[in-house]
Chains A and B, each alone.
Chain A
Amino acid sequence: MITVEELSFSYTNKPFISNMSFQVRKGEVFGFLGPSGAGKTTLQKILTGLITTYRGSAVLNGVECKTHSKSFYENIGVDFEYSTLYEKLTAYENLQFFGSLYAKNVRNIDDLLESVGLQNDGDKKVSEYSKGMKSRLNFIKALLHDPAILFLDEPTSGLDPTNSRIMKDLILHEKKCGKTVLLTTHNMLDAAELCDRVAFIVDGTIKALDTPHNLIMQKGAASVKYTYYDGTEHTGQCSLTKTAEDQLLMSLLKNNAIRSIHSSEPTLNDIFIEVTGRTLK
């Protein structure tokens, strides 16, 4: 669906994106993870045809991004991190207008509003919407023309847990319908939950690319932490793969002397820090 080969781009003389290569399969949720200024937004601009002065190749849906025609956008939906709505118009008017720009038939506006819980707010002006409501409206705007490829930039940013859940379920529903989703996020929990594969991007290069599970398993072994009491409380720890070799743990288990026991895998965030030496800010 998307093939990027030896992609390089620079705003100045200094390279901003260097020699990037990856592929995204049809129906895959692919995550770009990286700190601010890593090149995620620039990469999205290249893939959506907004930046055309790159070197290398970026082919989306069989079309080289820098030589695309207008119809290229019939199959791309973009949900920017910020609101891209006419504040003086109602939600309904916004969706009607943006939908009218496409040649193909658009989805039913009432159904889309209902899918994000805005069915009773369609006639409200967007300027009266809260940040969360705008995020949800922004998201369904990207779905209006039923695109094959979705670019989502921080789709759950600013949402409360309930609405964040609704949004994630909608993304998973789109995936189930066969959509290819490119997700840009700082949120490692979202990435781990939603993405089939993730790419860690730092300083315009891909530092790691794999499934969240593989990344976690390759880079860090899960550990077991336990506490026990022998006059005072103590804590013990061993690798999950070497529990049988921990004599103390074995003896405590035999004597039912364990007060608490937990296994803990490293999070995607831990792996990101380990691989890139950077935090996600």
Chain B
Amino acid sequence: MAVERPKSPSRLADFGLKSERVLWPDKGPSEFEQELGDIEQQLGLTTLEKAIAWSQTKSMWPDTFGLACCAIEMMSIVSSRYDIARFGMEAFRSSPRQADLLIISGRVAQKMAAPIQQIYDQMLEPKWVIAMGACASSGGMFNNYAVLQSVDKIIPVDVYVPGCPPRPEGLMEGIIRLHERVQSGIPAAYEIGGVAK
């Protein structure tokens, strides 16, 4: 379906999604980028808002929230091979008051749901949530009485990263997508909609 898309030099599509360009330098803007560009135009982002969004992504500090196996892979993105310090995110804050990003890494037991809700509520806005792994995204292989079938039943999630556990590169891809989402002006999940029902 051919749609006339107006060309403006400051759309995100012109800067290219970094994750794809690394492997495919001459790739034109993808559907995702074009849609982001359309949203940018509709929301009418100003340069100041773009600057704020840019700076939010450049030092988005995660909360030390590891639950189970995915936490081990989350720890390995801090290690030197998958270095997350390049993104300014190696400062994992223990206090949710100081954290911007909550990476739910691991299966969420019913007993843990209340503490997660408390921690999410204590975080200051703007805040984002990444559901890492199959268990946080949908309950994973544990479709039973003990595991909450997806953490988005209690808190709104921005990015879901599949895998059991996802490779560190997979989690990085999720984080980079989150950065691109923020930079394009898409509001954080708590502003768009509530939790899943």
Q: Do A and B come from one complex?
A: no
Please list the residues of chain B having a beta carbon within 8 angstroms of any beta carbon in chain A: none
